[in-house]
Structure 1
Amino acid sequence: MEVVSRFAIDVLVRCWALCSTGLLAVLLFYWLYGGWVASIVVWISIFGIFYNYQDYLLYYPEVPKSSRLLVQSPQGWNVPFESLFIKARDGTRLHALLLKQPEGLAATAPTVLFLHGNAGNIGHRLVNAVALYAAVSVNVLLLEYRGYGKSDGSPSETGLYLDAEAAVDFLYSRADINQRKIVVFGRSLGGAVGVHLATHSVFRERIFAVILENTFTSIPHMATIIFSMKRILKWVPVWMYKNQFLSIKKIGQCSRPTLFVSGLADQLIPPYMMQLMFQESGSVYKRMCTFPTGTHNETWQCDGYCDVIRRFLQEVSQAHGLEDTDGIVHDHTILDI
């Protein structure tokens, strides 16, 4: 109900002029052509509003308030870092933070591309990123999607894919990191973006391993849960969803070693979606790790979280000796922490 209310308020506030014009148009059509034509116009208008305002139901770059203005710096963490801007293929300017291991380690350590969820900015993920940096001994590139934080543009499914691709291209342009150890980490919405990278015909070859945490199967599937209208929404064709993120259909093409991290106390995305993603994954080396007390955004605070990631990366390195992943041993494991 809260989501429906937000949608209705957004439409009224942002579209009052358009709605007024539309009402006049409907009345004019009714007067000129009769009720059936006016009804068609009404339904087309409703569909147009529903389609174009789906973005406001999915992307929350201004939550919490001032997220577009204030992005916390790693300066107080005593961690070597770079605040930088990269450009996506369509020219959109993107903000990112690169946390680098000390000189001598940065060039050999894995580099984690951190793809965040649908709200806030990369500053809100710094505590998590610094924990990974310290406990797992990795470099971390936190990418700020278009329309979030200090990045330009507006978020969209295609746009987020371009942003993630630009981040991988950027890492490949750096001579001071190990380009053979790029790890894609995606939480929630970021998991869907990560699946895109891991199944892309070009970019999947540049990825060392994938970590997916508390992500969903698809937006149409999530819609049936959030709106509690499964009987109705199951008949809505996929093309009516502006943002689809069909991860469940893509994950079978993922051949990279993959760690699935699931918080069983997640109240937003049902944990069974992570189970489905694990089952459908095409990776021959995949692991599922569940945390009984892990919530949607705080699973990383559970005991043993960083240990699981560190062991996973070590085992992947040992399993294929940094050679072609096709030579990796088959391992489908489920761990309960």
Structure 2
Amino acid sequence: MNANSWYQFLGKGLRLVVGVYGGLLLLLILGQSRLMYFPSRQIINTPQDTGLDYENLRLTTSDGVSISAWWMPVANPQAPVILFAHGNGGNISYRLPYIRIFHQMGFASLFFDYRGYGESEGQPSEQGTYLDGEASWNYLTQNRKITPQRIIIYGESLGGGIATYLAAKYQPAGLILGSTFTSIPDRAKELFPLMPIDLIAQFQYHNLGRLAQIQSPVLIIHSPQDEIIPFHHGQKLYEAANEPKFFLEIHGNHNEGFLDALPTYQAGIGQFIQGILAD
């Protein structure tokens, strides 16, 4: 191969690399919402299907979107209340195991669907999920007259972003973050190390940065076997949280680790909630 042929070969190779990189970059820019949210409209089961009483609610957000929520009461009118923000897949009907566990432990709970999920109107967005969380908090504190001192906000995976937002704004009795990331850009840089994430990121959900604003007790739950959000994200969140803070290590994968480690999970949740409400 002579010099001209070699340069032509290198040029074609370089153009191919640049083309592939540019194509991937374009996909990331245009497809971020699809990578972020995986909603399902199908309600696969309800609490009633498992023998639990519940109220099927319609809540209206401050920007006029109607969202769906489930309220699961318990016999004790002064019981702790868990406000649950779920992960990025499915909808609240996929979280029945959490609902059953909380009910068995004597905790009332409110599960809400983000806009675009389940029976909620609209399309999901970061700001929209925050407004959905605010509407759910307002339902508990304004409609049901539940004091913040009885409310524990729980964020599962993506829901951690909504949970830290609400906790920083309202300072509830406690905050639980399960299998949650430090921020979307942090995780995206791990998945796409060659991409200019800081320049193109359309979503933040900056949990790490918000923890400094939260004075409520914090419980971080994470598994070393989590295949979606690495364990070190949970460790960094714990390090950033103000005291009092607690870390509960479970085992198992991202979506079902709490079930794989159910005795440990229930004991840790119970001790955290009973401890903060006893103070």
TM-score interval, normalised by the smaller of the two chains: 0.7 to 0.9
Are 1:109 and 2:75 matched, yes or no?
A: no
Compute the RMSD of aligned alpha carbons.
1.9
Are 1:208 and 2:173 matched, yes or no?
A: yes
Are 1:187 and 2:146 matched, yes or no?
A: no
Alignment of 1:1-337 (within 5 A): 50-61=28-39, 67-102=40-75, 105=76, 107-135=77-105, 137-175=106-144, 177=146, 179-200=148-169, 203-204=170-171, 207-227=172-192, 230=193, 232-233=194-195, 235-238=196-199, 240-281=200-241, 283-291=242-250, 293-301=251-259, 302=261, 303-319=263-279
> 1:12 matched to which residue of 2?
none
> 1:32 matched to which residue of 2?
none
Mean Cα displacement is larger for which, 259-268 or 172-181?
172-181
Letter in 2 for 1:82: E
> 1:40 matched to which residue of 2?
none
Q: In structure 2, do the counterparts of structure 1 residues 179 and 219 end up closer, same or farther at CA, with 3 Å as the change threshold?
A: closer
Q: In structure 2, do the counterparts of structure 1 residues 127 and 48 end up closer, same or farther at CA, with 3 Å as the change threshold?
A: same
How high is the TM-score relative to the length of structure 1?
Answer: 0.72
Cα offset, 1:294, TM superposition: 2.7
Letter in 1 for 2:254: H
Deviations for 1:48-67, whole angstroms, at most 9, x for unmatched residues? 76434210111001xxxxx3
Matched position secondary structure for 1:101? coil
Q: How many residues are matched?
A: 256
> 1:34 matched to which residue of 2?
none
Structure 1 moving runs of 4+ over 3 Å: 45-52, 174-179
Cα offset, 1:178, TM superposition: 5.0
Cα offset, 1:244, TM superposition: 1.2
Deviations for 1:56-84, whole angstroms, at most 9, x for unmatched residues? 111001xxxxx313342111222221011
Could you tell me how far apart the structure 2 residues matched to 1:258 and 1:116 are? 17
Gapped runs of 5+ residues in structure 2?
1-21
Could you tell me how far apart the structure 2 residues matched to 1:250 and 1:126 are? 29
Cα offset, 1:273, TM superposition: 0.5
Matched position secondary structure for 2:90? coil
Matched position secondary structure for 1:304? helix
Percent identical residues? 31
Could you tell me how far apart the structure 1 residues matched to 2:54 and 2:209 are? 37
Could you tell me how far apart the structure 2 residues matched to 1:259 and 1:149 are? 28
Deviations for 1:147-198, whole angstroms, at most 9, x for unmatched residues? 0010001011000011001100010123464553011001100011111111
Q: In structure 2, do the counterparts of structure 1 residues 165 and 120 end up closer, same or farther at CA, with 3 Å as the change threshold?
A: same
Gapped runs of 5+ residues in structure 1?
1-42, 62-66, 320-337
Q: In structure 2, do the counterparts of structure 1 residues 89 and 49 end up closer, same or farther at CA, with 3 Å as the change threshold?
A: farther
